[in-house]
Amino acid sequence: MKSYYDHIIVGNGVAAAGTIEGIRSTDGEGSILAVSAEKHPVYGRPLISYLLEGRTDREHINYRRDSFYADNGCEVLYGERAEALDAAGKKVVLSTGEQVGYGKICIATGSNPFVPPFEGLEKVKNKLQFMTLDDALALSELLSEESRVLIMGAGLIGLKCAEGICRRVREIVVADLAPRILSSILDDECAGFIQRHVEKENISFLLGDTAERFEDGKAFMKSGRVVEFDILVLAVGVRANTALVKNAGGAVSRGIVVDTHMRTSLEDVFAAGDCVENLDISSGTGKVMAILPNAYAGGFAAGVNMAGGTKLFDNAMPMNSIGFFGLHAMTAGTYEGQCEAFRGDDGSINRLYIKDNLLKGFIFIGKPERTGVYTYLIREKVPLDSIDFELFRRTATQTMFSHDERGRRFGGVV
Amino acid sequence: MKRIYVNEKWCLGCHLCEYNCAFAASGSSDMSLALKGRKLYPKIHVEEGSDRITFAVSCRHCTDPMCMKSCIAGAISKEDGIVKIDRSKCVGCLTCVLACPYGALAPGENGIMQKCQLCTDNICGEPACVSGCPNGAIVFEERD
Ligand SMILES: Cc1cc2nc3c(=O)[nH]c(=O)nc-3n(C[C@H](O)[C@H](O)[C@H](O)COP(=O)(O)OP(=O)(O)OC[C@H]3O[C@@H](n4cnc5c(N)ncnc54)[C@H](O)[C@@H]3O)c2cc1C
């Protein structure tokens, strides 16, 4: 390690990979250092459940080829943390106590799992989070065909964990304080539809319920139920990891505040990924969106700008494609305005949210085909009176656009 | 770089491009053996609108591909302008389907994504949809 790098990246997830590629798209020379608390090269974090399920493996979970860091001339400090940021002195302090200077720095520290202060939690021996490859590997070690697993949290992470392990364990109970599963992205009807599908497996739910206290192997729920378990997975929620910027005096709200260049309020300090708040163009509000597409795109933009180029990340919005046992739910944007809803003959749920002549958001369950056309309508704010509304309501097709518009979209390089 | 373009005026809606695409991917030399009685997974599809509009859609090989930036597995990359997928990394999450503005991506057999790579991944040499189009509606050429 040198005492100075042109570019330092704190974190080594997908936002960091985007930053590295963004820097190198603009500056082939400058030195780059990535400080990586995890001991692994960048991997697809959402794939950890697929790893447990056997749908990927240790080799294929890697987000980039083996020579990625070497090809990009990027040094990586594995298993080390940046403990403090000295923005005025343009230095970071590492967990070893060493200090490293930088020209530009990108904070790509992701999110931390949020663990509520459950009484007696310390008495539970087999408890894990489900955030990292190491968490997944540790969980895999603990599992057996006899295991009873209690998962606290029926959000995306808790449910993906359940899907990943359900065929390897005896039974799974998923508990959540919210009255429905996936409560941040689905309403009651949609959530119920997916819940019934998931319940066909050895997975049951305790909703509107949470643990009052724990003993080893036992959760005493608010409802009075007692859940006996062998393994406890805590997946209640995540919080943006903002500490470095906050402690250095930078602007932080629920996430690190950045502009469309991914600059924080501190000079030469950029940030990207789950740790930041971006403007959600579908709602017009600042949000921590914590999804991988935004992590990559924000990181890439940060990298270009750090290297002296110009790249805006100004079209962030929530979007999730989540599948459970073959049933796919596609969601994007904000659910505000008037809802055009219909059930397909195949039972699929289709919802389009319309306001001020614009598509603002959608939920499609069981019909994922070509949904990106709707994502495009939200993102590009296409006036709905410029397209064939009847076709738009029924199916995602290019023929909803006018002949001229189709010619423009398909007639040249895009 | 040469890309596939469709002239909507000449598209007959015959769906032959879909057959030629699936046949090219099969690696077989006998079309009926390769396709007959099977469910096809072509990487180009014909869309039909009102007023008898038909229009074949395949990957645009975008300058700034949303699918690539969105892929949770890092399975999509760009090489010499061609947007490619490493199917051994894909887990079939369909995030790319949600991201593609052109609705050009669809999973293949077993739910794993596949995509048009301009027939560089088979022995055709030139895109099969183009050479097989009976009305010259699909072209492979350089445009701005
Ligand atoms: C189980 C699971 C399933 C998911 N599924 C999906 C999905 O289907 N679709 C989707 O879009 N998103 C999904 N996500 C979210 C997605 O993984 C994140 O949005 C994405 O990984 C964010 O990337 P990042 O680089 O910002 O942060 P991270 O991937 O969290 O990387 C941040 C890294 O920084 C390290 N770090 C933190 N602080 C320091 C420090 N001080 N010094 C050094 N290193 C530090 C951390 O250890 C971590 O390795 C899922 C997440 C999980 C856990």
Are B52 and B72 members of one domain? no
End-of-domain residue from the set A250, A277, A306:
A306
DSSP for residue A315: -
Examine residue A28 and state whether it is found in any structural domain, yes or no.
yes
Q: What is the pLDDT of residue A118?
A: 95
The parts of chain A modelled with pLDDT lower than 70 are none
Residue B82 pLDDT grade (very low, low, confident, very high; cuts 50, 70, 90): very high
What's the per-residue H, E or C state across chain B? CEEEEECHHHCCCCCHHHHHHHHHHHCCCCHHHHHCCCCCCCCCEEEECCCCCEEEECCCCCCCCHHHHHCCCCCEEEECCEEEECCCCCCCCCHHHHHCCCCCCEECHHHCEECCCCCCCCCCCCCHHHHCCCCCCEEEEECC
Are B8 and B51 members of one domain? yes
- Indicate if ligand 1 lies below 6 Å from the C-beta of B72: yes
pLDDT in tens, A336-368: 999 999 888 888 999 999 999 999 999 999 999
Distance A46 CA to ligand 1 centre (A): 8
Domain assignment of residue B121, given as a range: 1-58+116-144
Are A213 and A143 members of one domain? yes
Q: What is the pLDDT of residue B144?
A: 84
End-of-domain residue from the set A247, A278, A306:
A306
Are B52 and B10 members of one domain? yes
**Contact between residue B116 and residue B2 where contact means Cβ atoms under 8 Å apart:** no
Spacing of C-alpha B29 from chain mean position: 20
Taking the C-alpha atoms of residue B37 and residue A409, their distance in angstroms, rounded to an integer, is 35
Judged by CB atoms closer than 8 Å, whether chains meet at A63 and B74 is answered as yes
- Report residue A266 as tokens: 């501190």
Q: Report the run of H or E that residue A102 belongs to, with start and end.
A: strand A99-107
- Indicate if ligand 1 lies below 6 Å from the C-beta of A160: yes
Examine residue B7 and state whether it is found in any structural domain, yes or no.
yes
The dihedral over CA atoms of B17, B19, B21, B23, expressed in degrees to the nearest 10, equals -150
Residues 6+ apart with CB under 8 A from A320: A156, A185, A291, A329, A330, A331, A332, B98
Are B13 and B50 members of one domain? yes
Report chain A residues whose CB lies below 8 A from the CB of B99.
Answer: 293, 319, 372, 375
Distance A135 CA to ligand 1 centre (A): 13
Are B51 and B70 members of one domain? no
Q: What is the pLDDT of residue A347?
A: 87
**CATH number of the CATH domain containing B95:** 3.30.70.20
**Contact between residue A398 and residue A319 where contact means Cβ atoms under 8 Å apart:** no
Are A9 and A31 members of one domain? yes
Taking the C-alpha atoms of residue A42 and residue A299, their distance in angstroms, rounded to an integer, is 13
Are B43 and B75 members of one domain? no
Report which of A157, A142, A78, A164 is spatially closest to residue A112, judged by C-alpha positions: A157
**Alpha carbon of B62: minimum distance to chain A alpha carbons (Å):** 5
Distance A111 CA to ligand 1 centre (A): 6
Examine residue A320 and state whether it is found in any structural domain, yes or no.
no
**CATH number of the CATH domain containing A21:** 3.50.50.60
Examine residue B8 and state whether it is found in any structural domain, yes or no.
yes
Question: Is a pLDDT exceeding 80 seen at residue B51?
Answer: no
* Segments of A119-169 assigned E as strands: 127-129, 148-152
Mutation test of ligand 1: which of A62, A292, A319, A328 has the most ligand atoms closer than 8 Å to its C-beta?
A292
Taking the C-alpha atoms of residue B75 and residue B89, their distance in angstroms, rounded to an integer, is 5
Examine residue B111 and state whether it is found in any structural domain, yes or no.
no
Are A19 and A100 members of one domain? yes
Examine residue A316 and state whether it is found in any structural domain, yes or no.
no
State the DSSP string of A231-283.
EEEE-S-EEE--HHHHHTT--BSSSEE--TT-B-SSTTEEE-STTEEEEETTT
Examine residue B107 and state whether it is found in any structural domain, yes or no.
no
Are B70 and B141 members of one domain? no
A65 three-state secondary structure: coil
The residue type found at A235 is: A
User: What's the domain count of chain A?
Assistant: 3
Judged by CB atoms closer than 8 Å, whether chains meet at A375 and B3 is answered as no
Domain assignment of residue A189, given as a range: 121-236
Are B8 and B23 members of one domain? yes
Distance A110 CA to ligand 1 centre (A): 5
Examine residue B109 and state whether it is found in any structural domain, yes or no.
no
Taking the C-alpha atoms of residue A333 and residue A31, their distance in angstroms, rounded to an integer, is 38
Q: What is the pLDDT of residue A66?
A: 96
Are B7 and B39 members of one domain? yes
- Report residue B95 as tokens: 């995030």
Taking the C-alpha atoms of residue A269 and residue A107, their distance in angstroms, rounded to an integer, is 7
Q: Is the ipTM beyond the 0.90 threshold?
A: yes
Examine residue A51 and state whether it is found in any structural domain, yes or no.
yes
Are B5 and B45 members of one domain? yes
- Indicate if ligand 1 lies below 6 Å from the C-beta of A243: no
Mutation site, B11, B93, B96, interface A, largest A CB count within 10 A: B93
Examine residue A10 and state whether it is found in any structural domain, yes or no.
yes
**Alpha carbon of B35: minimum distance to chain A alpha carbons (Å):** 23
Taking the C-alpha atoms of residue A129 and residue A116, their distance in angstroms, rounded to an integer, is 12
**Contact between residue A396 and residue A373 where contact means Cβ atoms under 8 Å apart:** yes
**Alpha carbon of B116: minimum distance to chain A alpha carbons (Å):** 15
Are B23 and B49 members of one domain? yes
Examine residue A146 and state whether it is found in any structural domain, yes or no.
yes
Are A107 and A247 members of one domain? yes
Examine residue B39 and state whether it is found in any structural domain, yes or no.
yes
Examine residue B29 and state whether it is found in any structural domain, yes or no.
yes
User: What's the domain count of chain B?
Assistant: 2
Helices A133-142 and A156-165 sit at what angle, rounded to 10 degrees?
Answer: 40
End-of-domain residue from the set A236, A264, A297:
A236
Q: What is the pLDDT of residue B49?
A: 82
Are A250 and A213 members of one domain? no
Residue B52 pLDDT grade (very low, low, confident, very high; cuts 50, 70, 90): confident
Higher pLDDT residue, B53 or B3? Answer: B3
Spacing of C-alpha B128 from chain mean position: 10
Examine residue A318 and state whether it is found in any structural domain, yes or no.
no
**Contact between residue A53 and residue A335 where contact means Cβ atoms under 8 Å apart:** no
- Indicate if ligand 1 lies below 6 Å from the C-beta of A334: no
Taking the C-alpha atoms of residue A150 and residue A173, their distance in angstroms, rounded to an integer, is 5
Q: Which residue has the tokens 């949470």?
A: A210
Examine residue B96 and state whether it is found in any structural domain, yes or no.
yes
Q: Report the run of H or E that residue A221 belongs to, with start and end.
A: strand A218-221
Residue B27 pLDDT grade (very low, low, confident, very high; cuts 50, 70, 90): confident
Are B1 and B14 members of one domain? yes
